[in-house]
């Protein structure tokens, strides 16, 4: 296992350097180009993905009862992959098997475990095209996005989490000599410090980002000495089944118990997460999903350290700009990407009723809306290009919300149904833009997940900032933005962002978007507002995943 670390030492060291400086870093190339990955990589990956379709996935889960098929592709293709079905009655067996390898895993030591996990990431990278297809057809992300967000970027985030965990575990020496001055000889004690995992970690995956949102917690828990039970969203199992398969393969090859990582697939409606999350063996939980269940976990799974990413009301304040066209282009892309189904997509755009000053002269509230709508029209005008940005609608609940949202105010831009040229049964929609009044906080103060954004008409930027502060403090946010040419306004926005605990993007007009966070540099979520109780990735995200146990004796 030490050999495994040696093989990946450079990758680890570069990641450790990156988290210290938080400048640009990437270990896994984000371009799916044949020039990077080779001529046959894309086709091979697709073939590997297609080979899963209609089969029983070859992964064993202790305590499982029969199999279950749960996925439906947003692109309309038939997946029909069956998985072992975990039910409440099988949890004793699952958790007993899960814990069986813990002592050997602890004894593998910090470097041994780090080597194993880095090898897992490397193997996942070798299957990145297969994973991208699996992410695409479960989440609805278009292929390139699935490759990046679901593959390369997810690997970078996972590596970032492993780097933090490795650094955290390495803060404590393995041994120490304690010499206390005393009359005559000093008093000498020899001490040993051992990193031990907490027990079983549970990862509860989500539908939209099955890998990106699961891997940081999964690998942070694994590398710190825990066993991990992975419970995917019923609609997005395959990417995590592949993940678990790779984990088990590497663990087995290293002479460790493959059951240190297990896959617990439930049938939608089985309600497996609650009994699983409150089991005394479960000491760590990572969850991405709705606020209702996230809050429930925080309040009820009190035997565990719980890391949640939930809903929020992401906001952008528009005060003024010296690049109006670029502003509208930047926002249009943000709202359109993956049909606004990112936890980081802007929902609320606060714009003064009197309009804003721009490089193109004064723009009224309506002209700002029209500008964004126009940019959206240009971006999504060509169906073949549009589907590669929009992807598919992840599930039926999104469509229901979209259908209702037009009623909330004045429709500035209608949502449009698009036929996918390659997947006739895909469900594709463009974003809806609705203008609201400042008083409509019962609408914009709650998350309306999907391709729906609100242009909120405020008295002035002062009110915009106040509403931003209020909605984020109460409803949470994963992202926030401000457009202003006024240094004083920018300062006020920064202060409001610090007070409400959200990261702020200022005047984004180029190829960086408020809904994107770069691994190793941008923190994803803050843990300082109701949208998430932790961040990807900092010390707090990893430090409580293990404990240090000492022994001492006279030296």
DSSP helix/strand/coil, 25: coil
Nearer Cβ to a copy of itself, position 486 or 499? Answer: 499
CA distance 303 to 201: 12
- Return the structure tokens found at 331: 């926002």
Q: How far is the CB of 528 from a copy of itself (least distance, A)?
A: 4
Q: Which is nearer to a copy of itself, 268 or 512 (CB)?
A: 512
Whose Cβ is closer to a copy of itself: residue 66's or residue 181's?
A: 181
Minimum Å gap between C-beta 465 and a copy of itself is 14
The SS3 assignment for 514 reads coil
Residues whose CB falls within 8 Å of the CB of residue 291, separated by 6 or more in sequence, listed in order: 310, 311, 447, 476, 530
Alpha-carbon separation of residue 357 from 131, 170, 364, 372, 510 (angstroms): 46, 52, 9, 15, 20
Q: How far is the CB of 499 from a copy of itself (least distance, A)?
A: 7
Q: Which is nearer to a copy of itself, 404 or 549 (CB)?
A: 549
Nearer to a copy of itself, 2 or 302 (CB): 302
Least distance from C-beta 295 to a copy of itself, angstroms?
Answer: 9
Is-contact 466 487, C-beta < 8 A? Answer: no
In terms of CB distance, is 6 or 549 closer to a copy of itself? 549
Q: Which residues pair with 84 in a beta bridge?
A: 67
Cβ closest to a copy of itself, residue 323 vs residue 370: 323
* Helices of type H across 409-460: 441-444
CB of 544 to a copy of itself, least distance (A): 4
Q: Which stretches does DSSP call E strand in 303-344?
A: 305-309, 315-318
CB of 292 to a copy of itself, least distance (A): 15
DSSP state of 151: I
Which structure tokens are listed for 115? 């080597």
For residue 512, the minimal CB distance to a copy of itself (Å) is 6
Which residues of this protein are in contact with a copy of itself, per CB under 8 A?
19-24, 103, 106, 168, 171-173, 176-182, 186-187, 189, 191, 193-194, 196, 198, 298-299, 302, 494-495, 497-499, 501-512, 518, 521-523, 526-528, 535, 538-540, 543-544, 547-554
Angle at 385 between CA 143 and CA 145, to 5 degrees: 25
| Contact call for residues 315 and 472 (beta carbons, < 8 A) | yes
């Amino acid at each position: 296992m030490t050999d495994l670390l040696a093989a990946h030492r450079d990758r680890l060291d570069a990641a450790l350097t990156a988290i210290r400086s938080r400048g640009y870093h990437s270990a896994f190339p984000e371009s799916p180009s044949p020039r990077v990955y080779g001529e046959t990589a894309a086709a091979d990956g697709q073939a590997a993905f297609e080979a899963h379709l209609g089969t029983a996935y070859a992964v064993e889960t202790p305590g499982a009862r029969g199999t279950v098929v749960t996925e439906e592709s947003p692109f309309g293709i038939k997946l029909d992959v069956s998985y072992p079905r975990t039910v409440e009655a099988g949890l004793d067996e699952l958790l007993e098997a899960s814990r069986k390898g813990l002592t050997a895993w602890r004894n593998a030591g910090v470097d041994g475990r780090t080597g194993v996990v880095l090898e897992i990431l490397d193997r996942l990278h070798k299957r990145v095209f297969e994973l991208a297809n699996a992410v695409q057809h479960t989440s609805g992300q278009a292929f390139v996005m699935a490759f990046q967000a679901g593959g390369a970027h997810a690997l970078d985030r996972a590596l970032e989490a492993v780097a933090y965990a490795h650094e955290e575990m390495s803060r404590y020496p393995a041994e120490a000599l304690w010499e206390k001055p005393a009359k005559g000889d000093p008093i000498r004690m020899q001490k040993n410090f051992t990193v031990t995992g907490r027990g079983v970690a549970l990862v509860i995956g989500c539908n939209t980002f099955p890998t990106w949102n699961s891997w940081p917690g999964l690998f942070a828990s694994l590398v710190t000495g825990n066993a991990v039970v992975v419970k995917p969203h019923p609609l997005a199992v395959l990417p995590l089944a592949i993940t678990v398969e790779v984990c088990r393969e590497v663990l087995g090859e290293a002479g460790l118990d493959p059951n240190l990582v297990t896959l617990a697939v439930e049938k939608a409606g089985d309600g497996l997460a609650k009994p699983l999350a409150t089991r005394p063996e479960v000491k760590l939980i990572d969850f991405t999903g709705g606020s209702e269940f996230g809050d429930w976990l925080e309040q009820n799974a009190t035997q565990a350290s719980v890391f949640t990413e939930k809903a929020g009301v992401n906001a952008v304040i528009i005060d003024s700009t010296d690049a109006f066209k670029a502003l509208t282009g930047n926002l249009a892309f943000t709202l359109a990407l993956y049909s606004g189904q990112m936890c980081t997509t802007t929902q609320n755009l606060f714009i003064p009723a009197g309009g804003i000053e721009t490089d193109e002269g004064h723009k009224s509230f309506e002209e700002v809306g029209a500008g964004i709508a126009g940019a959206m029209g240009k971006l999504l005008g060509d169906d073949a290009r549009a589907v590669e940005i929009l992807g598919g609608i992840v599930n039926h609940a999104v469509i229901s919300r979209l259908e209702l949202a037009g009623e909330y105010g004045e429709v500035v831009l209608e949502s449009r149904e698009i036929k996918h040229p390659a997947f006739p049964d895909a469900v594709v929609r463009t974003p809806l833009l609705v203008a609201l009044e400042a008083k409509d906080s019962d609408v914009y103060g709650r998350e309306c997940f999907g391709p729906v954004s609100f242009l909120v008409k405020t008295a002035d930027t002062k009110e915009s900032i106040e509403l931003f502060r209020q909605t984020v403090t109460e409803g949470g946010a994963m992202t926030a933005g401000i457009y202003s040419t006024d240094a004083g306004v920018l300062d006020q926005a920064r202060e409001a962002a610090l007070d409400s605990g959200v990261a702020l993007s200022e005047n984004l007009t180029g190829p960086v978007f408020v809904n994107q966070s770069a691994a190793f540099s941008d923190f994803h979520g803050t843990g300082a507002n109701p949208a998430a109780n932790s961040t990807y990735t900092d010390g707090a995200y990893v430090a409580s995943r293990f404990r240090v146990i000492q022994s001492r004796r006279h030296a």
